[in-house]
Amino acid sequence: MIYLDYQATTPVAPEVAGAMQPWIEDKFANPHSPSTWGREAAAAIEVARAQVERAIGLSGGSVAFTGSATEALNWALKGTVEKAPKGRNRIIALATEHAAVLDTCEWLAGQGFDLTVLPVAADGLLDLGDLELELDERVSLVAAMLVNNEIGVIQPIADIARAAHSCGALMLCDAVQGLGRVDIPEGPDLVAVSAHKIHGPKGIGALWMRAGAEPAPLIHGGGQERGLRSGTLSPALCVGFGAAARLASERRDADQAHVAQLWNAATAALGGRWSINGSVGERYRGNLNIRREGLDAARLLADLRDIAMSLGSACASGSGRPSHVLRALSLSDRAARSSIRIGFGRYTTEAELVDAVTRIDAMARAQENLAA
Protein backbone atom coordinates (compact mmCIF):
# COMPACT_ATOMS: atom_id res chain seq x y z
CA MET A 1 0.00 0.00 0.00
CA ILE A 2 1.12 3.54 -0.68
CA TYR A 3 -0.01 5.73 2.20
CA LEU A 4 -1.01 9.20 1.00
CA ASP A 5 -3.50 10.24 3.65
CA TYR A 6 -1.28 12.24 6.02
CA GLN A 7 -4.05 14.72 6.87
CA ALA A 8 -6.23 11.87 8.21
CA THR A 9 -3.44 10.53 10.38
CA THR A 10 0.31 9.95 10.29
CA PRO A 11 2.37 6.80 10.88
CA VAL A 12 3.64 6.49 14.45
CA ALA A 13 7.35 7.35 14.50
CA PRO A 14 9.56 4.46 15.69
CA GLU A 15 11.10 6.79 18.28
CA VAL A 16 7.60 7.48 19.64
CA ALA A 17 6.70 3.79 19.87
CA GLY A 18 10.03 3.17 21.65
CA ALA A 19 9.44 5.96 24.16
CA MET A 20 5.92 4.69 24.93
CA GLN A 21 6.79 1.03 25.33
CA PRO A 22 7.96 1.01 29.00
CA TRP A 23 4.86 2.99 29.98
CA ILE A 24 2.64 0.39 28.33
CA GLU A 25 4.45 -2.75 29.47
CA ASP A 26 5.89 -2.08 32.94
CA LYS A 27 5.21 1.35 34.33
CA PHE A 28 1.53 1.21 35.14
CA ALA A 29 1.34 3.51 38.17
CA ASN A 30 -1.32 6.19 38.39
CA PRO A 31 0.52 9.46 37.73
CA HIS A 32 -1.68 11.22 40.27
CA SER A 33 -0.81 8.89 43.16
CA PRO A 34 1.88 9.90 45.68
CA SER A 35 3.94 6.67 45.46
CA THR A 36 7.48 6.71 44.03
CA TRP A 37 6.15 5.11 40.87
CA GLY A 38 3.32 7.58 40.64
CA ARG A 39 5.75 10.48 41.02
CA GLU A 40 7.99 9.02 38.31
CA ALA A 41 5.00 8.87 35.95
CA ALA A 42 3.98 12.43 36.88
CA ALA A 43 7.52 13.63 36.16
CA ALA A 44 7.48 11.94 32.74
CA ILE A 45 4.19 13.70 31.98
CA GLU A 46 5.71 17.06 32.89
CA VAL A 47 8.64 16.42 30.52
CA ALA A 48 6.12 15.59 27.79
CA ARG A 49 4.11 18.73 28.56
CA ALA A 50 7.24 20.87 28.15
CA GLN A 51 8.03 19.14 24.83
CA VAL A 52 4.53 19.84 23.49
CA GLU A 53 4.69 23.46 24.72
CA ARG A 54 8.08 23.91 23.03
CA ALA A 55 6.71 22.58 19.72
CA ILE A 56 3.73 24.97 19.96
CA GLY A 57 6.30 27.69 20.59
CA LEU A 58 4.03 30.37 22.05
CA SER A 59 4.86 32.42 25.13
CA GLY A 60 2.73 33.23 28.16
CA GLY A 61 0.65 30.09 28.42
CA SER A 62 0.59 26.38 29.13
CA VAL A 63 -0.91 23.14 27.92
CA ALA A 64 -3.51 20.81 29.39
CA PHE A 65 -3.74 17.33 27.90
CA THR A 66 -7.08 16.16 26.51
CA GLY A 67 -8.36 12.97 24.88
CA SER A 68 -8.23 14.49 21.38
CA ALA A 69 -8.16 17.80 19.55
CA THR A 70 -11.91 17.40 19.14
CA GLU A 71 -12.22 17.51 22.93
CA ALA A 72 -9.81 20.47 23.14
CA LEU A 73 -11.90 22.42 20.59
CA ASN A 74 -15.20 21.56 22.30
CA TRP A 75 -13.71 22.64 25.62
CA ALA A 76 -12.27 25.88 24.21
CA LEU A 77 -15.57 26.90 22.61
CA LYS A 78 -18.02 25.82 25.29
CA GLY A 79 -15.80 26.81 28.22
CA THR A 80 -15.02 30.25 26.80
CA VAL A 81 -18.60 31.26 26.10
CA GLU A 82 -19.57 29.95 29.55
CA LYS A 83 -17.06 32.32 31.16
CA ALA A 84 -17.67 35.26 28.84
CA PRO A 85 -18.95 38.50 30.37
CA LYS A 86 -22.69 39.08 30.11
CA GLY A 87 -23.66 40.39 26.68
CA ARG A 88 -20.77 38.70 24.87
CA ASN A 89 -22.80 35.94 23.31
CA ARG A 90 -21.53 35.93 19.73
CA ILE A 91 -19.11 33.41 18.19
CA ILE A 92 -17.43 33.80 14.79
CA ALA A 93 -15.94 30.88 12.86
CA LEU A 94 -14.68 30.42 9.32
CA ALA A 95 -16.75 28.36 6.90
CA THR A 96 -13.76 26.05 6.33
CA GLU A 97 -13.26 25.03 9.98
CA HIS A 98 -13.19 21.36 10.97
CA ALA A 99 -16.45 19.75 12.08
CA ALA A 100 -15.08 19.72 15.65
CA VAL A 101 -15.42 23.52 15.56
CA LEU A 102 -18.40 24.02 13.25
CA ASP A 103 -20.61 21.36 14.83
CA THR A 104 -19.80 22.63 18.33
CA CYS A 105 -20.64 26.18 17.20
CA GLU A 106 -23.92 24.92 15.73
CA TRP A 107 -24.68 23.21 19.03
CA LEU A 108 -23.97 26.46 20.88
CA ALA A 109 -26.23 28.29 18.43
CA GLY A 110 -28.95 25.84 19.42
CA GLN A 111 -28.34 26.87 23.04
CA GLY A 112 -29.03 30.52 22.18
CA PHE A 113 -25.59 31.84 21.19
CA ASP A 114 -25.34 33.99 18.10
CA LEU A 115 -23.17 32.30 15.45
CA THR A 116 -21.59 33.97 12.43
CA VAL A 117 -19.90 31.71 9.86
CA LEU A 118 -17.57 33.77 7.69
CA PRO A 119 -17.11 32.94 4.00
CA VAL A 120 -13.67 32.52 2.41
CA ALA A 121 -12.47 33.54 -1.04
CA ALA A 122 -12.11 31.08 -3.94
CA ASP A 123 -8.53 30.39 -2.81
CA GLY A 124 -9.76 29.39 0.66
CA LEU A 125 -8.36 32.45 2.43
CA LEU A 126 -10.27 34.78 4.72
CA ASP A 127 -10.69 38.39 3.64
CA LEU A 128 -9.85 40.24 6.88
CA GLY A 129 -12.27 42.99 5.91
CA ASP A 130 -15.13 40.47 6.18
CA LEU A 131 -14.08 39.68 9.75
CA GLU A 132 -13.66 43.33 10.71
CA LEU A 133 -17.18 44.11 9.50
CA GLU A 134 -18.59 41.48 11.86
CA LEU A 135 -16.65 42.38 14.99
CA ASP A 136 -18.37 44.18 17.84
CA GLU A 137 -18.45 44.18 21.64
CA ARG A 138 -20.85 41.21 21.66
CA VAL A 139 -18.27 38.79 20.23
CA SER A 140 -16.68 36.47 22.80
CA LEU A 141 -14.62 34.21 20.52
CA VAL A 142 -13.26 34.04 16.96
CA ALA A 143 -12.22 30.58 15.74
CA ALA A 144 -9.85 30.08 12.78
CA MET A 145 -7.76 27.14 11.64
CA LEU A 146 -4.05 27.56 10.93
CA VAL A 147 -3.55 24.91 8.18
CA ASN A 148 -6.72 23.57 6.61
CA ASN A 149 -7.05 19.79 6.82
CA GLU A 150 -8.74 19.45 3.43
CA ILE A 151 -6.97 22.00 1.26
CA GLY A 152 -3.83 22.90 3.22
CA VAL A 153 -4.27 26.68 3.02
CA ILE A 154 -2.74 28.77 5.80
CA GLN A 155 -4.94 31.49 7.31
CA PRO A 156 -3.46 34.81 8.54
CA ILE A 157 -3.77 33.81 12.21
CA ALA A 158 -1.83 36.76 13.70
CA ASP A 159 -4.06 39.27 11.86
CA ILE A 160 -7.21 37.40 12.85
CA ALA A 161 -6.11 37.38 16.50
CA ARG A 162 -5.29 41.09 16.37
CA ALA A 163 -8.72 41.86 14.92
CA ALA A 164 -10.47 39.68 17.55
CA HIS A 165 -8.57 41.40 20.37
CA SER A 166 -9.46 44.84 19.02
CA CYS A 167 -13.05 44.26 20.11
CA GLY A 168 -12.16 42.43 23.32
CA ALA A 169 -12.82 38.93 21.98
CA LEU A 170 -10.57 35.89 22.42
CA MET A 171 -9.13 33.91 19.52
CA LEU A 172 -9.11 30.12 19.17
CA CYS A 173 -6.75 28.54 16.67
CA ASP A 174 -7.11 24.93 15.51
CA ALA A 175 -3.44 24.18 14.85
CA VAL A 176 -3.87 20.42 14.46
CA GLN A 177 -2.49 20.33 10.91
CA GLY A 178 0.04 23.10 11.49
CA LEU A 179 1.89 21.84 14.56
CA GLY A 180 5.47 20.91 13.69
CA ARG A 181 4.99 22.00 10.08
CA VAL A 182 4.51 25.75 10.07
CA ASP A 183 5.09 28.38 12.78
CA ILE A 184 2.11 29.01 15.01
CA PRO A 185 2.04 32.82 15.07
CA GLU A 186 1.81 34.72 18.38
CA GLY A 187 -1.72 36.03 18.94
CA PRO A 188 -4.18 33.20 19.68
CA ASP A 189 -5.41 32.80 23.26
CA LEU A 190 -6.28 29.14 22.80
CA VAL A 191 -4.64 26.57 20.52
CA ALA A 192 -5.80 22.99 19.92
CA VAL A 193 -3.36 20.27 18.81
CA SER A 194 -3.40 16.49 18.36
CA ALA A 195 -0.64 13.87 18.68
CA HIS A 196 -1.67 11.56 15.86
CA LYS A 197 -1.15 14.21 13.17
CA ILE A 198 2.54 14.53 14.12
CA HIS A 199 3.52 10.84 14.20
CA GLY A 200 2.28 10.37 17.76
CA PRO A 201 -0.41 8.09 19.20
CA LYS A 202 -4.16 8.47 18.73
CA GLY A 203 -6.33 9.32 21.73
CA ILE A 204 -4.44 12.36 23.01
CA GLY A 205 -4.63 16.04 22.20
CA ALA A 206 -3.95 19.24 24.08
CA LEU A 207 -5.25 22.74 24.58
CA TRP A 208 -2.68 25.53 24.94
CA MET A 209 -4.15 28.37 26.98
CA ARG A 210 -2.82 31.87 27.46
CA ALA A 211 -2.54 32.53 31.21
CA GLY A 212 -5.85 34.09 32.25
CA ALA A 213 -7.76 32.81 29.19
CA GLU A 214 -8.42 29.30 30.53
CA PRO A 215 -11.96 28.16 29.61
CA ALA A 216 -14.34 26.83 32.24
CA PRO A 217 -13.86 23.04 32.57
CA LEU A 218 -15.81 20.79 30.26
CA ILE A 219 -15.03 17.63 32.24
CA HIS A 220 -15.46 17.56 36.00
CA GLY A 221 -14.09 15.01 38.44
CA GLY A 222 -10.78 14.39 40.18
CA GLY A 223 -9.34 17.84 39.52
CA GLN A 224 -6.40 16.77 37.34
CA GLU A 225 -4.73 19.27 35.02
CA ARG A 226 -5.08 22.12 37.55
CA GLY A 227 -8.77 21.37 37.95
CA LEU A 228 -9.33 22.28 34.30
CA ARG A 229 -9.61 18.79 32.80
CA SER A 230 -10.36 15.93 35.13
CA GLY A 231 -9.51 12.32 34.36
CA THR A 232 -6.44 10.15 34.98
CA LEU A 233 -3.79 10.97 32.41
CA SER A 234 -2.18 8.17 30.42
CA PRO A 235 1.61 8.38 30.90
CA ALA A 236 2.12 6.29 27.74
CA LEU A 237 0.04 8.65 25.58
CA CYS A 238 1.53 11.79 27.12
CA VAL A 239 5.09 10.47 26.70
CA GLY A 240 4.27 9.49 23.11
CA PHE A 241 2.90 12.95 22.37
CA GLY A 242 5.98 14.53 23.97
CA ALA A 243 8.36 12.37 21.93
CA ALA A 244 6.47 13.17 18.72
CA ALA A 245 6.56 16.90 19.54
CA ARG A 246 10.30 16.79 20.30
CA LEU A 247 10.96 14.98 16.99
CA ALA A 248 8.79 17.46 15.10
CA SER A 249 10.80 20.33 16.56
CA GLU A 250 14.16 18.68 15.87
CA ARG A 251 13.27 17.55 12.34
CA ARG A 252 11.32 20.63 11.37
CA ASP A 253 13.75 21.86 8.67
CA ALA A 254 14.47 18.37 7.30
CA ASP A 255 10.76 17.49 7.18
CA GLN A 256 9.98 20.79 5.48
CA ALA A 257 12.66 20.30 2.81
CA HIS A 258 11.47 16.73 2.20
CA VAL A 259 7.84 17.86 1.80
CA ALA A 260 8.87 20.63 -0.62
CA GLN A 261 10.77 18.09 -2.73
CA LEU A 262 7.76 15.72 -2.68
CA TRP A 263 5.42 18.52 -3.73
CA ASN A 264 7.64 19.42 -6.68
CA ALA A 265 7.90 15.79 -7.76
CA ALA A 266 4.14 15.16 -7.44
CA THR A 267 3.05 18.30 -9.30
CA ALA A 268 5.59 17.58 -12.07
CA ALA A 269 4.28 14.01 -12.45
CA LEU A 270 0.63 15.13 -12.75
CA GLY A 271 -0.66 15.56 -16.25
CA GLY A 272 -1.85 18.99 -17.35
CA ARG A 273 -5.59 18.60 -16.81
CA TRP A 274 -5.57 18.89 -13.02
CA SER A 275 -6.24 22.05 -10.98
CA ILE A 276 -5.16 22.60 -7.39
CA ASN A 277 -7.92 23.41 -4.89
CA GLY A 278 -7.01 26.29 -2.57
CA SER A 279 -4.19 28.81 -2.60
CA VAL A 280 -0.89 27.44 -3.89
CA GLY A 281 1.20 30.21 -2.31
CA GLU A 282 -0.34 30.24 1.19
CA ARG A 283 -0.26 26.52 1.67
CA TYR A 284 1.31 23.64 3.56
CA ARG A 285 2.75 21.62 0.70
CA GLY A 286 2.20 18.20 2.22
CA ASN A 287 -1.40 18.63 1.07
CA LEU A 288 -2.20 18.30 -2.63
CA ASN A 289 -5.94 18.65 -3.15
CA ILE A 290 -6.65 18.41 -6.86
CA ARG A 291 -9.61 18.22 -9.21
CA ARG A 292 -10.11 17.25 -12.81
CA GLU A 293 -13.18 18.13 -14.82
CA GLY A 294 -15.54 15.21 -15.21
CA LEU A 295 -13.59 12.91 -12.87
CA ASP A 296 -15.58 10.49 -10.74
CA ALA A 297 -13.28 10.74 -7.72
CA ALA A 298 -15.12 8.09 -5.69
CA ARG A 299 -14.67 5.60 -8.54
CA LEU A 300 -11.01 6.50 -8.90
CA LEU A 301 -10.45 5.78 -5.20
CA ALA A 302 -12.29 2.46 -5.52
CA ASP A 303 -10.18 1.52 -8.56
CA LEU A 304 -6.91 2.34 -6.78
CA ARG A 305 -7.49 0.64 -3.47
CA ASP A 306 -3.79 0.06 -2.80
CA ILE A 307 -3.27 3.82 -2.62
CA ALA A 308 -4.60 5.35 0.61
CA MET A 309 -5.94 8.84 -0.14
CA SER A 310 -9.16 10.77 0.44
CA LEU A 311 -11.94 12.32 -1.52
CA GLY A 312 -11.58 16.06 -1.68
CA SER A 313 -15.33 15.80 -1.37
CA ALA A 314 -15.07 13.86 1.89
CA CYS A 315 -18.63 12.84 2.50
CA ALA A 316 -20.22 13.87 5.76
CA SER A 317 -20.83 10.56 7.58
CA GLY A 318 -21.43 8.73 4.34
CA SER A 319 -24.34 11.01 3.53
CA GLY A 320 -22.94 11.70 0.06
CA ARG A 321 -22.82 15.43 0.78
CA PRO A 322 -19.81 17.11 -0.84
CA SER A 323 -17.18 18.67 1.42
CA HIS A 324 -18.22 21.91 3.12
CA VAL A 325 -14.67 23.18 2.56
CA LEU A 326 -14.74 22.74 -1.23
CA ARG A 327 -18.21 24.24 -1.35
CA ALA A 328 -16.88 27.23 0.62
CA LEU A 329 -14.44 27.78 -2.28
CA SER A 330 -17.55 28.21 -4.46
CA LEU A 331 -16.90 24.94 -6.27
CA SER A 332 -19.99 23.25 -7.68
CA ASP A 333 -21.03 19.91 -6.18
CA ARG A 334 -19.81 18.31 -9.39
CA ALA A 335 -16.37 19.92 -9.14
CA ALA A 336 -16.16 18.92 -5.47
CA ARG A 337 -16.97 15.33 -6.42
CA SER A 338 -14.14 15.45 -8.97
CA SER A 339 -11.55 16.25 -6.28
CA ILE A 340 -9.09 14.07 -4.39
CA ARG A 341 -6.78 14.83 -1.47
CA ILE A 342 -3.25 13.45 -1.54
CA GLY A 343 -1.34 13.90 1.72
CA PHE A 344 2.32 13.06 2.22
CA GLY A 345 5.15 13.70 4.64
CA ARG A 346 8.12 12.42 6.61
CA TYR A 347 8.01 8.75 5.62
CA THR A 348 6.76 9.15 2.03
CA THR A 349 9.39 8.39 -0.60
CA GLU A 350 9.56 10.34 -3.82
CA ALA A 351 9.47 7.10 -5.85
CA GLU A 352 6.23 5.84 -4.29
CA LEU A 353 4.59 9.26 -4.57
CA VAL A 354 5.49 9.64 -8.25
CA ASP A 355 4.33 6.06 -8.88
CA ALA A 356 0.98 6.79 -7.20
CA VAL A 357 0.45 10.13 -8.96
CA THR A 358 1.29 8.60 -12.34
CA ARG A 359 -1.26 5.84 -11.74
CA ILE A 360 -3.87 8.35 -10.55
CA ASP A 361 -3.35 10.35 -13.74
CA ALA A 362 -3.54 7.22 -15.92
CA MET A 363 -6.73 6.06 -14.18
CA ALA A 364 -8.33 9.48 -14.69
CA ARG A 365 -7.46 9.31 -18.41
CA ALA A 366 -8.91 5.79 -18.62
CA GLN A 367 -12.17 7.12 -17.14
CA GLU A 368 -12.26 9.82 -19.81
CA ASN A 369 -11.62 7.31 -22.59
CA LEU A 370 -14.46 5.12 -21.32
CA ALA A 371 -16.80 8.08 -21.20
CA ALA A 372 -15.85 9.27 -24.71
Q: Does 289 bind ligand PLP (CB under 6 A)?
A: no
Backbone angles phi, psi at 174, to 5 degrees: -85, 105
Q: φ, ψ for residue 153 (rounded to 5)?
A: -70, 150
Q: Which of 213, 209, 184 is nearest to 198 (CA)?
A: 184
For 119-226, strand residue ranges (E) read 139-145, 170-174, 190-194, 205-210
Which range touches ligand PLP (CB under 6 A), out of 160-168, 171-179, 232-240, 351-359? Answer: 171-179
Residue 243 CB, nearest approach to ligand PLP (Å): 17
Q: Is 190 in the site for ligand PLP (CB under 6 A)?
A: no
Q: Is 194 in the site for ligand PLP (CB under 6 A)?
A: yes
Nearer to ligand PLP, 38 or 67 (CB): 67
Given candidates 174, 214, 225, 361, which one binds ligand PLP under the rule CB under 6 A?
Answer: 174
Alpha helices in the chain (DSSP H): 14-25, 36-56, 69-83, 99-110, 128-134, 157-166, 235-250, 252-269, 297-303, 324-328, 333-336, 350-371
Check 105, 173, 238, 315 and give the catalytic one: 315
Q: Is 33 helix (H, G, I), strand (E, B) or coil?
A: coil
| Shortest CB 132 distance to ligand PLP, Å | 24
Asked if residue 283 lies in contact with residue 341, where contact means CB atoms within 8 angstroms, the answer is no
x-or-dash pattern for ligand PLP, window 8-47, by CB under 6 A? ----------------------------------------
Whether 105 sits among the annotated catalytic residues: the reply is no
Region from 30-38, 82-90, 106-114, 170-178 binding ligand PLP, contact rule CB under 6 A? 170-178
Q: Does 177 bind ligand PLP (CB under 6 A)?
A: yes
- How far does CA 217 lie from the centroid of its chain? 22
CB closer to ligand PLP, 101 vs 295? 101
Q: State the Cα–Cα distance between residues 205 and 64, nearest whole angstrom.
A: 9
CA atoms within 13 A on the CB side of 313: 25
Count of residues that bind ligand PLP according to CB under 6 A: 12
Of 51 and 70, which has the nearer Cβ to ligand PLP? Answer: 70
Asked if 12 and 365 touch (Cβ cutoff 8 Å), the reply is no
Taking the least distance from each CB to ligand PLP, the nearer of 174 and 214 is: 174
> Within positions 75 to 94, which residues make up the interface with ligand PLP, using CB under 6 A?
none
Catalytic residues, by residue number, are 315
**Using CB under 6 A as the criterion, which residues of the chain lie in contact with ligand PLP when the complex forms?**
68-70, 98, 100, 145, 149, 174, 176-177, 194, 205
